[in-house]
Amino acid sequence: MSIYHKFIPVLLLFFAACQSDPILVDLGNVPAEEVHVLRYDQDIFTVNRQNAKEQLDVLAKKYPLFISGDYKDPARIFELMDYLEDPLQKDLKEKCKQTFTDLSALEKTLSEGFRYYKYYYPQAPSAKVYGYVSGLSFEHPIEWEDSTSSAAVALDLYLGPGFPLYYQMGFEMPQYLSYKLQEKFIPVDLFTKVALVKYDLEKDGNTLIEKIVSHGKMQYFIKAMLPFVPDSTRLMYHPEQMKWCQESEERLWQYFVRENLLHSTDFMVYKKYLEDGPFTSSLEKESPGRIADYIGLRIVQSYMENSEVTLDALMKEKDLLNIFQKSKFKPE
């Protein structure tokens, strides 16, 4: 028998697996997206009080997301100059300049991610991504304007877990949170924000299983945009935590069932499995926080593999219990 014939069954199995996974889409007819991070975080600091109006006229053409409307109003210029001359903002601007000297790897990931985005949303405008200094506004790392496909990324929130200011000025940043303040997580945060703006998922579900599925929908959307990114990066887990999830999936699911947690409406139960932390309390210390993200993703993956539903229809589906029931999810 030819060596080639020996590999035919293996290849057939491989292609059958690929065809059953709706995440593996064909981008052949989708034009390449070339996304560059426009450095508003640096350019805006060239503005001075003497020539502010003229300088803003020039910058407004490049940065309409930030400079629009009555930007020449004296009150707005005064407010802008206060921001530009603030010592904290100036320090952060310099740190961003030193840290983000080469964004080619990030831009490559974003370009590929937005190509997938255009596959699912072909009518969307080409993406524009801007970097800016937020003054350590941790609640708003990324903003998204859906009508123009424009993202504003607070680069000062991705300076790495060792950046000293994350632990000063009363922030008291725990390590499990500072771990996420890395450049590699920018695409994940960006597409998380895209999903939140497009579909308003934050308040979905009343029981734990419904909220787990809602979290799974979010994670599935991110995976659809970034299928080439490692699971641990998309979920923002340490690699060893990702390994724990994969090896403990069956035991974890049995625990949820045995403890009658799935239909709980107890806020403290939600908090334990949905919110971030160094690990999930009541589970092993090797587990990650936000364990619902992993289980929810697995449920939604199973649902999508057992149905003929588009990504948009999935994201708009509000009957979360129906998704769970039709998923036929059963770890083995």
Per-residue pLDDT of 134-188, as tens digits, reads 999 999 999 999 999 999 999 999 999 999 999 886 667 888 999 999 999 999 9
Which ranges constitute the DSSP H helices of 226-319?
A: 231-235, 239-258, 267-274, 291-305, 311-316
What are 234's two structure tokens?
A: 């998309």
User: What sign has the CA pseudo-torsion 328, 325, 192, 246?
Assistant: negative
Write the pLDDT tens digit of every residue in 252-295.
999 999 999 999 999 999 899 999 999 998 789 999 999 999 99
What are 284's two structure tokens?
A: 């092993």
Residue 302 CA to chain centroid, in angstroms?
A: 21
> What are 143's strand-pairing partners?
152
Annotate 114-161 with DSSP letters as a single string. HHHHHHH-TTSPPPEEEEE--SS-TT-SEEEETTTTEEEEEGGG-S-T
- When pLDDT is averaged across residues 15-30 and rounded to a whole number, the result is 75
pLDDT, residue 204, reads: 75
pLDDT, residue 282, reads: 79
Least confident of 93-97, 116-120, 184-188, 199-203: 199-203
Which residues 6+ apart lie within 8 Å of 213 measured at CB? 205, 296, 299, 300, 320, 321, 323, 324
> Kind of pairing, strands 150-154 and 142-145?
antiparallel
Question: Does 20 have pLDDT greater than 50?
Answer: yes
Q: pTM to 2 decimals? A: 0.91
Which residues 6+ apart lie within 8 Å of 304 measured at CB? 22, 23, 220, 314
The rounded mean pLDDT for the chain is 91
Residue 207, CA distances (Å) to 131, 185, 213, 256, 328 in order? 38, 29, 10, 13, 18
CB 327 within 8 A of CB 300: yes
Residue 149, CA distances (Å) to 129, 158, 281 in order? 9, 21, 39
- When pLDDT is averaged across residues 109-122 and rounded to a whole number, the result is 98
- When pLDDT is averaged across residues 219-241 and rounded to a whole number, the result is 97
Percent of the chain with pLDDT over 90: 84
Q: What is the largest CA-CA distance in the chain?
A: 83
175 closest CA partner among 94, 277, 257? 277
**Cα distance between residue 321 and residue 4, in whole Å:** 47
